[in-house]
Amino acid sequence: MTTPILLVPGFWLGAWAWDEVAAELRGRGDEVYAHTPRGVDPADPERLSVTLAEQAMGIVEAIPAGRRAVLVAHSGAGVTGYLATDLAPGRFERVVYVDTAPAHEGFAVNPGLDPALREWELPQWSEFAASGASLDGLDDAALARFRARAISEPATIAAAPLRLSDRTARLAIPSTVICCSFSADYARQQRDSADRTMFDELNPVDADYADLPTGHWPMFSRPKELAELIHTLAHP
């Protein structure tokens, strides 16, 4: 029996974002589950009140009962994906962070979000470019599909600071950062910097690195190559 692979997308995305990657993995014989995070299911009338802990538990509960999974967390899922490994470390065989990293205590994706807003709509493409979230590899059709299917992110997820336990079991889970819009060398430099960065938690976490140069959404820009990397990591 193979280890199941659980694919969790970043902000504004549902399970559909992994369609091409999932198909590639299944073609290689992998057992794959693509997950829509709690809070971005438009059919859920309570979605805008979901908490980080609830979204993280949704990830844990998406793993088949009694099994351990390889978790693949993209972008903003580096927050709740990492929290899931804190809540239930025994359910994870490995974690693959796609153009993201495990979030440190107190980290929030958008701490400056207007408190009057309940949700964060998909920004304009120019805002992504300005923030360093590269659009490389996405043509007009891919961008149009992304925007048409995007779901606003609950403010309770986007602006809330991450709170981790004092337990250390999560730190021993083998982890890999797939570096797309930043390089592995940059991630290591930021990890070791004296300044506070989004890579700080890579100091205690048992992590290695792999480069896949492209934009911030490799599931759209390089799905075959991303699937190949995930497959290889899931079968060490």
Q: pTM for this one?
A: 0.97
- At 214 the pLDDT is 97
Token digits of residue 194: 């004296």
pLDDT in tens, 19-41: 999 999 999 999 999 999 999 99
- At 2 the pLDDT is 86
- At 77 the pLDDT is 98
Distance CA(214)–CA(181), nearest Å, equals 6
Residue 46 neighbours by CB distance under 10 Å: 11
Distance CA(236)–CA(55), nearest Å, equals 29
Distance CA(148)–CA(160), nearest Å, equals 26
Cβ–Cβ under 8 Å, residues 209 and 182:
no
- At 103 the pLDDT is 97
170-199 average pLDDT score? 95
pLDDT of residue 115 exceeding 90, the answer is: no
- At 201 the pLDDT is 95
- At 221 the pLDDT is 97
- At 178 the pLDDT is 98
pLDDT of residue 1 exceeding 80, the answer is: no
CA atoms within 13 A on the CB side of 43: 3
State percent of the chain over pLDDT 70: 100
Distance CA(128)–CA(72), nearest Å, equals 22
Alpha helices in the chain (DSSP H): 19-27, 52-61, 77-87, 125-131, 140-149, 155-158, 184-191, 218-221, 223-234
- At 105 the pLDDT is 96
Distance CA(84)–CA(105), nearest Å, equals 14
pLDDT in tens, 68-112: 999 999 999 999 999 999 999 999 999 999 999 999 999 999 999
- At 132 the pLDDT is 78
Q: Which domain holds residue 159?
A: 5-234
State percent of the chain over pLDDT 90: 93
Which contacts qualify for 121-125: CB closer than 8 Å, 24 or more apart?
A: 121/152, 122/12, 122/146, 122/147, 122/150, 122/152
Q: Which residue has the tokens 């490799």?
A: 218
The number of distinct structural domains making up the chain is 1
CATH of residue 128's domain is 3.40.50.1820
132-153 average pLDDT score? 95
